Copies of this chain bind each other. A is one copy, B any other.
Amino acid sequence: MTGAPSYPAAHARLLAYMKAHGLKLTRQREQILEAFLGAEKHVGVEELLGLVRRLQPGIGHATVYRTMKLFVDSGIATERKFSEGATLYEPEDGGHHHHDHLICTRCGTIVEWENEAIEELQEQVARQHGFVLTDHKMELYGLCSNCQKKA
């Protein structure tokens, strides 16, 4: 813990967003940011809370929920609601290349992938129905190679 942010790009983006909106950078927000980016996978609020509490035992649910919402608004995080249970968050890297998920229904492994051809077909489908696309969500569920062996 040097005090220097480990993720300068995200940190900068957050600062810019906050400045633009008259918000404040608090210790909690910095710590949540570090924990969130350090996790390097999809994290839920409960898990994040656990991570941050190592540094900041008194922090409450509400703060994490509110902060993650802030991160989403500032473009640092994306919210994912998978089929089961609670919302997970993942870092939104600056480059806007969208990706989707492949999820093992047995062990819960999540693999990220992207496919330009599918994206184009999606646009096509939307156009055919007179829609303008703003977003999409695609999850493939199956068994990963490990779990196939075990099954």
Contact = CB atoms under 8 A, between A and B. Distances in A.
Interface centre among A83, A130, A131, A136 (most CB of B within 10 A): A131
Nearest to A148: B132
Given A118-B121, A118-B122, A139 B142 contact: no
A149 to B, nearest CB: 10
A20 interface: no
A129 B72 CA distance: 29
Contact of A115 (B111, B125, B140, B148): B125
Contact of A145 (B131, B136, B145): B131
A83 B83 contact: no
Interface string A110-125: 0101010110011001
Q: Kindly state the interface size class of chain A when it binds its partner.
A: 20 to 34
Contacts of A134: 105, 141-143
Interface centre among A81, A138, A142, A144 (most CB of B within 10 A): A142
A105 B131 CA distance: 10
A22 to B, nearest CB: 28
Nearest to A112: B129
Contacts of A113: 125, 128-129
What 8 pairs across the A-B complex have the smallest Cβ distances? Answer: A130-B145, A133-B142, A138-B138, A135-B141, A131-B142, A136-B140, A137-B139, A134-B142
Interface of A: 81, 83, 102, 104-105, 111, 113, 115, 117-118, 121-122, 125-126, 128-145, 148
